[in-house]
Amino acid sequence: MRARILGHSIHPMLIVFPLGLLGTSVIFDVLYLVRGDFGFATVAYWNIAAGLVGGLVAAVFGLWDWLGIPRGTRAKVVGLWHGLTNVVVVGLFAASWWMRRMDPDRLPSGLALGLSVLALALALVAGWLGGELVERLGVGVYDDARLNAPSSLAGPTQPISAPRGGTGAR
């Protein structure tokens, strides 16, 4: 059973915050490199901190959803890789944040910056895997999903948790 609120999965609602914050931290690091304004380094530091907290909260709901995917399906394997990749992303950003903690208003070391850039690249891979779960494998998509489906607030309906017939076809 997926974690839901008002008929929608919680995990996809939450991931936008850490993904946006962590990705934007790299942009602020680049802006610091270009402009030399300490404010950009400070914003990058706090974006990472907030992104890590949000990532951990999103991970709880992602794990909850993953546990509901049937064993022996491609979706279970893709979901495992999605989750593990995101754990690495959070770990790399956490290491970058830790290296900056003594002086968050200065340019991070090359290693701290490199870890953030690597983590961002891996976050894109993890995001693609998440998209594969929903868009290709139909994880969490309602059986009656269509362009003119009724609102999720209209009444009970059942989401599918794995592709039907192993093809993912609708």
What is the rounded distance in angstroms from the CA atom of residue 18 to the CA atom of residue 56?
9
User: Which is higher by pLDDT, 101 or 5?
Assistant: 101
Distance CA 127, CA 78 (A): 11
The verdict on residue 96 lying in a domain is yes
Residue 72 has pLDDT above 90, yes or no: yes
Say whether 72 sits in a helix, a strand or coil: coil
pLDDT at 170 over 50: no
pLDDT at 163 over 70: no
Give 95-129 pLDDT, tens digit per residue: 999 999 998 888 788 999 999 999 999 999 999 99
- Evaluate if residue 156 carries a pLDDT over 90: no
Domain count, the chain: 1
Q: Is residue 46, in this structure, part of any structural domain at all? A: yes
Other CB atoms within a 10 A radius of the CB of residue 92 amount to 21
Residue 148 within a domain:
no
Residue 158 has pLDDT above 50, yes or no: yes
Instruction: Report percent pLDDT > 90 for the chain.
Output: 69
Write out pLDDT tens, residues 124-150.
Answer: 999 999 999 999 998 888 877 888 888
User: What does the angle CA 63 – CA 67 – CA 71 come to, to the nearest 5 degrees?
Assistant: 140
Burial category of 38 from C-beta neighbours within 10 Å (exposed 0-12, middle 13-18, buried 19 and up): middle
CB 9 within 8 A of CB 140: yes
Give pLDDT, residue 169: 44
Average pLDDT over residues 2-29: 92
Does any domain span residue 66?
yes
Q: Is residue 71 part of a domain?
A: yes
Six-digit token pair at 89? 């992303």
CATH number, domain containing residue 41: 1.20.120
* 60 has a pLDDT exceeding 60: yes
Domain of residue 41 covers: 4-143+153-166
Q: What confidence score (pLDDT) does residue 104 get?
A: 85
